[in-house]
Structures are given as C-alpha cells and as structure tokens.
Structure 1
Amino acid sequence: MVSKGVKYMLLSTFIFAVMNVLIKYVPNIPAIEIILFRSIVSFLMSGIALKSQKVPLFGNNKKILLFRGLAGALALMMFFTTLQEIPLASAVTLMFLGPIFTAILGMWIVKEKVAWVQWLFFGLSFAGILMIKGFDPRVSPEMTLLGVGAAFFSGIAYNMIRKLKTSEHPLVIIFYFPLVTLPIVGIYSAFHWVWPVGIEWVVLLAIGVLTQLAQYFMTKSYQSEELSKVANLNFIGIIYALGFGYVLFEETFNLLTYLGMTLVMVGVVLNVVYKQRKQKVV
C-alpha cells in the first residue's frame, strides 16, 4: 500500500510540473519578478490560512525557519532563471540533482542513515539524468552552474523541513518561504520592473496558487516520510518535463534521452520498493 508521504510527493511533483510550464509561457517577465508575484500570493494564502486556523504566524524555531526560507529563496531564483533560459527538460533535469544533495546533506543535518544499496539506486537515477541532459549546446556552463546551485540549496531547504517536522505546522514552514523571499526579490524588481500584459496577469496568479498547493503537499510529504524514501520521487517530474516540452514547446531530444528516462524511473522504483520492504521487516 502506498503511504501518505508518497502520495503527497506524487501530487506535489505534478503540480510543480504544471507551474514550470506556466513560467515558460511568460518569457517577457523577468524570473525574479515572477517569484515576486508567486511570493505575494503564497504570503497572503499562507497568512490567511494560519489566521483562520489560529496558528501563530512565526512558529517556534525561528532561526531554522529563516534558514529554510533563505535556502528556498536562493534555490527558486536560480531554478526560475534556468527555466526561462534553457529547454524545460534540461532545467528540470539539473534541479533533479536535489534529492542527491538532500540525501547527502541529510546525513549531517538530520542524522538520517542511507543504506549503501540506496546509493546505488541514487547513482542509477543520476546516470539517467546525465544521459537525459547529454551534451545539449543550448545549455551554457553558467546555466549548468545555476541549475546545480538550485539543486544544492533545495537540498538544504528540504532538510530544514525535516528538522522542523515535529515542532512546526506545515503552513508556518510555507509562510516563511515568501516572508524571506519578498524583501529580496522586491528590491530587485523595483529596479527591473516589467509590466505584465493581458493573459500574463492570469498566468502569474496561477503560478502563485499552484506553487502554494505544491509546497503544501511537498512539506506534508517530507514530514510524513524519511527523506531517502520520498526524495527520489521528484525524478518522476522528468517525464512531465519531457512530455510538456515536446508538446507545448517543440523541444526534442535524441534516443539516449529515453534510455536515461528509463534509468531514472528504475532507480526511483527500486528505492521506494526497498524502503517499503525494509519497513515491513522492521
């Protein structure tokens, strides 16, 4: 039987995939400005939800919450930039290094063990990611570094969520994301503002709402399961990225891409099955 944590992550992954598509639909709006709109919507929705549930806005572990917010903000700024500058599947592929950083950093941050066989599964998925990305001339070294940087900071953010699992309400953790992000992107946007036109307003609003939903389910997932069990499920997003990229943006890749996709999926399935069997034995 599939656990709640796994279900939450699968739902979060799909919603994030739709959000990524919408970001590419507004190429004229700077990535930082998109994050500003996204953060405003998230800030309002989180604040209203917290007030309605009578949950204190600022939580208990403020230092960890702030650190989670900062790491998430840095990851988001880097990732949104790559989404606008390189093919959808390539940007998402680089971001999928996040679970590897999550697992590695988790050994120190949350003292969570990862079995040696799971590293083989991670390695298999990572090899698939490299094959999917390949040697795409549309991806510059600068964008590659930004993509890897986004994955690294997302790994830190996910571990902070895990560290807060017993002391903070999921909405408080989400609330700190825009709380930290708004001042940073607000200052930048004030000097590089581009007014949205027509349907772009609707797209920006949708990005904010979808992000809120995806963040909520992702947070619930990381609070419900061990990092090593659900982190790999993010890789499923590569299927969405390849499909959406091809259908909506006419982004094509060679045959090795599909072989890489298969390796990623095999690594994901093996990791989940291993964790489920291990729990049954215990």
Structure 2
Amino acid sequence: MRNRATGFVLMSTMFFALMNVCIKLLPGIPSYEIVLFRSVISFILSLTLLLRLRIFPFGKGNYFYLIMRGIAGSAALLIYFYTLQHLPLATAVTVQYLSPLFTVLFAAFLLKEKLRWQQWIFLLLSFAGVVLIKGFGNDFPVSLLLLGMLSAALTGFAYNAVRKAGETEHALVVVFYLPLVTIPVITPFAVNNWVMPSGNEWLLLIAVGLLTQIAQVYQTRAYQIEMASRVTPYTFLGIVFAIIFGIFIFHEHYTPTGYLGMIIVMTGVVLNFFFLNRLTSLRRLQAYLRHFPGG
C-alpha cells in the first residue's frame, strides 16, 4: 500500500512539474488567459464528477469560506503563473513552496492555533533562503520574488479557508469552488488582455488544465491510501524536477548562492513539516494516555 501511495504522489509531483513547464512555454499568453483556460477545464471536469456522484455542487451553506477559498486561490494562481513566466523555473517553484509556512502563520491568527517558537525559526530560515536566491548577480527584480511570496501567502490563506469549509462540505465541493469563483473574476481581465493562441499554444493551454486535473487525482489517491506524513516529503522533489527542466529545456543556470538559497528554503519547510508531524503524534499519544485505564 505504501509503495502504491509513493508512486501516486511521485506521479502527481511529476504532472504538476510538467504543468509548470507548459506555462513557462507560453511567454506570449497573459497569465489571466492561462488561468481562465485552466479554470474552465477544471470546472467542466469537477462538475461532471460531482453530478456523477450525485453531490450538490454548491455545498451545504458554508459559502463565506468557500468563496474566500476561491478568491484567494484564484489570486494565488494568477500571481504564481505570472512568476513562472518571468522567473527562472526552479526559483518560482521554490518560493511557492513557502505556502505551508504561511498556512501555519495564518492558522495562528485566523484559527487561533498556537505558533511555536521553533516554527518562527523555520519561517525566518526560509525567508533567509529567499534572500540568498536573489543574491546580487541575478538579473530579475526583487519585486518578482515578492510577488512569488505573495502567491505563497495567498495559497496559505486559501488552505485555511479549505480547512474551515471542509468541516461541513464535501472535498469535491471545495475543489469545485476554485474554478467556480475564478471564472467570473478572471474573465473580464482575460478578455481585455486577450491574445489569440497559435496552434501549439492551444495544445499547451489544454495541457495545463489536463495535467493539473491528473495531478490532483493522483495526489488525492495517494492521501486516501496512506498517511500524509509518509507521502508528503516526496512532493518536495518538485524542486528537483524544476531544476532539471529549467536546465535542459530552458537553458537556465543558477549560481551556487542560488542553489544554497533553494536548499535553505526547503530546509525550513521540511523542518516545519516534520515538527508538525511530531507534534500531532505527541498530542494523539497524550489523548490516548488520558483515556487509558489506570493512566
């Protein structure tokens, strides 16, 4: 079972990496337009699945958090796609991996969860890594890195909205609300900045939507059959894929300082993940001991 789950999460990570490549191969298409294509494809596939399973698509009434998830998620997608087009591939992907740290940060303020001092250290460590990625010799403006961090922050906010909405709503409904909200929000901007795709660009735009959906299916399947603590670490291979694709497809080169920055960012993220996993295990053990006869 564990080997199957590992295979599923590796497939998911690879398909997300290929989606990133497709977006970067579309430098002439505005990010609004790419998000719209992705959302339309996701809307059709998600709605089809909901109707097939006879699940009411619009949920049970937790509309505030569903809509907040949609708004934050659509903004995060738009900014992330923009950074993919304008930053080196591995740089954009690495900065996006800050989202779990922002998730914890927002949970402390929105869900009143306690933020441990160790997590502040992990957060500062990852931010220091971002500073190293920028360095002094890179030819991209610091504003692009700040945009990438904003995307990660919005993703972290969206995850917290997902947690609140998920208390009463089916997981597929939560997924469906992202394209449901994104399409009406993004369409005016996409139409106003419309660039007619060429033959290959049409294929790449369709591929973005399909690859995303396939990746999400594999990701969901992995988490259904195995504990998150055992499969999540494999998702960090996304940065390795980004470096490989960046070098061999886009002929990107990174400075030693840039590589060090990526390592430091991921060190902070990974340490936070294992810290949270250990904390959860301790809480479960304490809860068990409290109810253990004679304990």
Aligned to 1:87: 88
Contact 2:17–2:242 (CA<8 Å) still a contact in 1? yes
Aligned to 2:251: 250
For the structure 1 residues 224 and 79, does the alpha-carbon distance in structure 2 shift closer, same or farther, using more than 3 Å as the test?
farther
User: Which structure has the greater CA radius of gyration?
Assistant: 2
Query: What CA deviation, in whole Å up to 9, does each residue of 1:57-100 have, x standing for no partner?
Result: 00121111011000011111111112112221222233233222
Q: Distance in 2 between matches of 1:133 and 1:54?
A: 49
Aligned to 2:51: 51
Can you give the 5+ residue segments of structure 2 that lack an aligned partner in the other structure?
A: 286-295
For the structure 1 residues 228 and 143, does the alpha-carbon distance in structure 2 shift closer, same or farther, using more than 3 Å as the test?
farther
Deviation at 1:269, TM superposition (A): 4.2
1:120-269 superposed matches below 5 A: 120-135=121-136, 137-215=138-216, 236-269=237-270
Contact 1:170–1:219 (CA<8 Å) still a contact in 2? no
Q: Distance in 2 between matches of 1:105 and 1:215?
A: 24
Can you give the 5+ residue segments of structure 1 that lack an aligned partner in the other structure?
A: none
Contact 1:98–1:154 (CA<8 Å) still a contact in 2? yes
Q: Distance in 2 between matches of 1:118 and 1:234?
A: 20
Q: Distance in 2 between matches of 1:253 and 1:197?
A: 31
Moved more, 68-77 or 134-143: 134-143
Deviation at 1:108, TM superposition (A): 2.2
Query: What CA deviation, in whole Å up to 9, does each residue of 1:204-249 have, x standing for no partner?
Result: 1110022224455667899999999999876543322222111110
Aligned to 2:30: 30
The answer to whether 1:102 aligns with 2:103 is yes
User: Aligned to 1:168, what secondary structure does the other structure show?
Assistant: coil
Contact 1:12–1:214 (CA<8 Å) still a contact in 2? yes
Instruction: Tell me the C-alpha RMSD between the 2 structures.
Output: 3.5
Contact 2:98–2:269 (CA<8 Å) still a contact in 1? no
User: Aligned to 2:168, what secondary structure does the other structure show?
Assistant: coil
Q: Distance in 1 between matches of 2:220 and 2:113?
A: 18
In percent, how many aligned pairs have the same letter? 44
User: Aligned to 2:156, what secondary structure does the other structure show?
Assistant: helix
The answer to whether 1:21 aligns with 2:12 is no
Q: Distance in 2 between matches of 1:111 and 1:236?
A: 32
Q: TM-score, normalised by structure 2?
A: 0.81
User: Aligned to 1:167, what secondary structure does the other structure show?
Assistant: coil
User: Aligned to 1:67, what secondary structure does the other structure show?
Assistant: helix
The answer to whether 1:270 aligns with 2:275 is no
For the structure 1 residues 135 and 242, does the alpha-carbon distance in structure 2 shift closer, same or farther, using more than 3 Å as the test?
farther
Q: Distance in 2 between matches of 1:231 and 1:114?
A: 21
